[in-house]
Chain A
Amino acid sequence: MTVARFWRKIPQRYNLIGTKCETCKRHFFPPRTFCPDCRREGKIVDHKFAGKGTVVTYTIIQTAPDQFASHGPYVLAIIKLDEGPQMTSQVVCDPSEAKIGMRVRSIFRRIATDGESGIIHYGTKFAPE
């Protein structure tokens, strides 16, 4: 991922900054600048998510992509944040601990690096509460 593309979404990646539509109270993560329900009637504002949620589904990735190859099997999950939206993230736990319905909270970790000399991509993962 290029420098600019990573940097542009740092508030989302580090701090789960999304948006909320004041008209219908629906929350969006990643942020949307246009409410799909209210459309032009919607009033979008920034919203910092609390980082708490529930695992909706998950898998244990055994064959990792090149940039994650040294990590061994890891848990990838779709997490429903308490405010409503769902997001995809790794869950840091023993793979045998992963369960549909488990409660998780956000943590700050390295996601990947751009090789040995490129930048480090920090971001959010989750851990059991």
Chain B
Amino acid sequence: MRDVAVIGIGCTRFGEKWSESFRDMFVEAGALALEDAQLSGEKIDAMYVGNMSAGRFIEQEHIGALIADYAGMATRHIPATRVEAACASGGLAFRQAVIAVASGMEDIVVAAGVEKMTDVEPGASTDALTGAADREWEGFVGATFPGLYAMIAQDYMHKYGMTREQLAQVAVKNHYNGARNPIAQFQQEITLNTVLKSTMVAEPLRLFDCSPITDGAAAVIVAPLDRAREFTDTPIKVLATAQASDSIALHDRRDISTLDATVAAGQRAFKMAKLSHKDINMVEVHDCFSIAEICAIEDLGFCKKGTAGKFTADGETALGGKIPVNTSGGLKACGHPVGATGIKQVNEIVQQLRGTAGKRQIDGATIGMTHNVGGTGATVAVHILGRV
């Protein structure tokens, strides 16, 4: 098994991109990544692209081939594979790329993520996203995605007594960070009041507790570590890749407000990297809803179960805190083009570790972590990256 490094990254602006098509966005992200790695397209050996639902959003399947074609690679006939695990599609695409390089099977591999969500009406978009849950036994009976996470929030608040204000601080912090991230969908800071007075979506989650509908694409390029310096002065080593699964339906989980797949993937990642929590300088977690970030930082082990609310309200996850969480702005402020998020997370950590994160830079960052979730926790991918 070889060591793997990230040698190039690229990301489009996230948002409602009326003028850009699915193909346009991918090409832009891919071109940026190639530029960043000073790499020409002919050197790419394989591609993995994370995409949840092009079929429902733009009536297009066969995304692997499509992406390779529009990236100008059709005549090179490289293996191009679409990876799907709902909102964890990007994280899994990254993992597949890492495994392809680590195994020696491929050398230079692109891991990308793309989602074009605004070409359908909001109702159709919401319905497509319900496919990440259990359609037969959750979606069919009236469950929505916010509804499922709202039930997680109710269970959590009932057991641990976190307040509504503490939960809201997650969104406030993420908007603060997003305002310092040029590619983030939302560039404005918000106050606690903004969150608490926003429209109720599913009790207790309000509009500002929920990540938005977003278009966007991101790409990273991985290569064997021992070749990385051919392409970049700042190779970032993949210290761990881990993935876990759990029951698709929330009602079948062992504990409604603990994502056991996060716990499993997190433990595997720390073990593989031979690191512990104190070694991590920042973490990108999957805050599809504010409660998801609360559960994530506990389930990854950064604080004890039931304490993440206070931990957040005390500023420990802010840029200047003990463990900055979601310096990119998270899914909430950066936006959540479903298949692209997992790759964007890697993107953000790489920028932090290279020292190019601008106004949201964490000084002296050497090791970062990403956490990407599918559905209400049925798939989780965790990666640890470090400066070499």
Contact = CB atoms under 8 A, between A and B. Distances in A.
Contact of B251 (A78, A100, A111): A78
B376 to A, nearest CB: 11
Specify the main secondary structure of chain A where it touches its partner. Answer: strand
A61 B144 contact: yes
A88 B251 CA distance: 6
A59 B140 contact: no
Contacts, number: 100
Contacts of A89: 141-142
B150 interface: yes
A1 B202 contact: no
A21 to B, nearest CB: 15
28 contacts: A9-B136, A56-B256, A57-B155, A57-B158, A59-B151, A59-B204, A59-B205, A60-B202, A61-B146, A61-B202, A62-B201, A63-B144, A66-B123, A74-B142, A76-B141, A76-B142, A77-B151, A78-B251, A85-B251, A86-B251, A87-B137, A87-B251, A88-B143, A88-B249, A88-B251, A90-B142, A111-B141, A111-B142
Which of A57, A61, A95, A125 is the most central at the interface, judged by chain B CB atoms within 10 Å of its CB?
A: A57
B142 A58 contact: no
Nearest to A29: B137
Contact of A30 (B123, B126, B136, B203): B136
Interface string A97-129: 000100000000001100000000101010000
Q: How large is the interface on B (under 10, 10 to 19, 20 to 34, 35 or more residues)?
A: 35 or more
A65 B251 contact: no
Interface string A38-63: 00000000000000000011111111
B144 A64 contact: yes
Given A62-B201, A100-B158, A1 B140 contact: yes
Which of A59, A63, A85, A121 is the most central at the interface, judged by chain B CB atoms within 10 Å of its CB?
A: A59
A57 B156 CA distance: 9
Interface string B265-282: 000000000000000000
Contact of A62 (B127, B200, B249, B250): B200
